[in-house]
Structure formats: structure tokens, C-alpha cells
Structure 1
Amino acid sequence: MEYDSMLDRAIEETPEIDGTSERFEVPDPEVRQEGNTTVFENFQAVCRRLDREPDHVMQFLQNDVGTSGHIDESGRARLTGAFDAARIGNGIDEYVEQYVLCPECGLPDTRLEREQGAIIRRCEACGARSPVEN
């Protein structure tokens, strides 16, 4: 009987999951050139949708496109160099693949955790835990 009550409690505490990654859409990057700088206007909206820290996303983008940059006081990403929306979008897609989507179930319901110096992607939908490459 104790098992049944524990099972009931586990089911009650399990979050409702849609069961499809189709509900996960990242906004297309809105970029414009400002001299020799690419301004990623909707950077904060993209980070909110990914449910990731802007600094982490920015660091990945800088490495991906091979440039330096910063987040300005308005929350926009400013990357040194000229990059079109497609190039920034490809970088965001790679970030999603590496840090957001669960490799087991394909859902975006993941959290990044540090464990013994490594970054682990923990899925809240299926419970999978997988290391991510730094």
C-alpha cells in the first residue's frame, strides 16, 4: 500500500508536459549593422525563450562566430563584425541543440547544472541527465 501512495504522489508532482518539441519556437534573431558592429536587437527575448542566462548565450555566440562582444545596457547583444540574421540564427540553433534540447526525448524542458566541474543538462520531462561539451 505504501508503494501505491508513493506512486500517486510522484504522478501528482510530475509536471504536465506537452510531449512534443513542436511547441518550442525560438524567435528569429533581429539584427542590424551599426558600423562594424552587429546589434542583436531581440537578444533578451531569445534568452527568455531558451530559459538560459544571457551571459552564457552571449559567450557561446561569441565563440561560434569567432568574435568579441558584449551585452549593452538595453540588453541587446553587440558583436564586433558584420553578421547577418541567418548566421546569428545558425549560432542560436547550435546553442539550442547543445544546451537546451534533451538528447533522449527531444524536449526543451532542461536545466543546466554544475556537477564536479562539468555542466550537466538535466531534463525535467524524462529525467535524463547528459553532459554537455564546454
Structure 2
Amino acid sequence: MDYDDQLEKALSESPDIESTGSRFEVPDPNVRPEGNMTVFENFQPVVAKLGRDESDVLKFLQTELGTSGQIDESGRARLTGDFRQDRIARAVEEYTEAFVLCPECGLPDTRLVDERGTRMLKCDACGALSPTGR
């Protein structure tokens, strides 16, 4: 039995493995209106999944949504104004693209570093050093 025959036999006998998608999935924002505020209920789990500082994520959301906000004692983000879930989800996705995912390999194994006064994204998976998306 030659190599090609062995390979064919091994492939035919191995189980099919279906991918369940990316290993990196950010939870969908759970938001609700409260008076003239929008409460981002699961802000802490989202920030934890992103692996970034909560104040950085909040500052990005404030800029992106054109509003003010704060983190309450329960760890929820309270944003001034009425924002739908899909708008906040889009902002979180934009943050993820700009400050979490490596532009070279696409993996989330990154951290923010300062290189000569410039904020950069350092990928621990592929070693790339890239300027942040913003």
C-alpha cells in the first residue's frame, strides 16, 4: 500500500468535524430603555470577552454614538439617549474590528501597546504589530 492509498484510507475512516464557527464570539448587547437612558445590561461580560479596559470600550461607545455615559455600581453601561440594540451591537463590532482582531491573521489574541507614543495592536498569535483602526 503506497502513501496515496494510506492517505485515502485514513481520510475515508476519519470522522467529519463540523466547525461551530469562530472560537471568538462576543455576546450580543442586552440593552433596555430606562427613562432618557439606555442601559447596556451585559456590558461587563462583553468587555471581558473583548479583553479590554471597560473605560476604553465606554469611551469608544460614547464617541461612536455621540452621547455621554457612565458605568454604574452594577457594572452596566448607562448611555444618555435612546439607542436600539442593533446600533449598540454595530458599535461593539466596530470596536472589535479596530481594537481587538489582528488585521494580519484575524485572531483576537491581541493586546494594546504603546510604541513610541502611538497606540498599536500587538498580536500574540502571529507577532504582527499594527496601528489600531482609529
How do 1:5-84 residues align onto structure 2 when only pairs under 5 Å count? Answer: 22-84=22-84
Using the size of structure 2 for normalisation, the TM-score is: 0.83
Provide the C-alpha distance between the structure 2 equivalents of 1:106 and 1:132, rounded to a whole number of angstroms.
13
Tell me the secondary structure at the aligned position of residue 22 of structure 2: helix
Deviations 1:77-112 (A, max 9, x none): 000000011000000000000000000000000000
2-side partners of 1:76 and 1:115: how far apart? 32
Higher gyration radius (CA): 2
| Alpha-carbon distance in 1 for matches of 2:115, 2:68 | 28
Aligned counterparts of 2:70 and 2:117: Cα–Cα separation in 1: 25
Aligned-residue RMSD, C-alpha: 1.0
**Segments ≥4 residues shifted beyond 2 Å:** none
Amino acid across the alignment from 1:46: V
Match of 1:115 in 2: 115
Q: How many residues align?
A: 114
Task: Assess, with a 3 A threshold, how the Cα gap between structure 1 residues 52 and 37 changes in structure 2: closer, same or farther.
Answer: same
In the alignment, structure 1 segments of 5+ residues that lack a partner are: 1-20
* TM-score, structure 1 as length reference: 0.83
Q: Which runs of 5+ in 2 are unaligned?
A: 1-20
Letter in 1 for 2:58: M
State how far apart, in whole Å, the 1-side matches of 2:79 and 2:86 are. Answer: 14
2-structure distance, mates of 1:65, 1:47: 17
Structure with more contact order per residue of length (Cα contacts < 8 Å, sep ≥ 6): 1
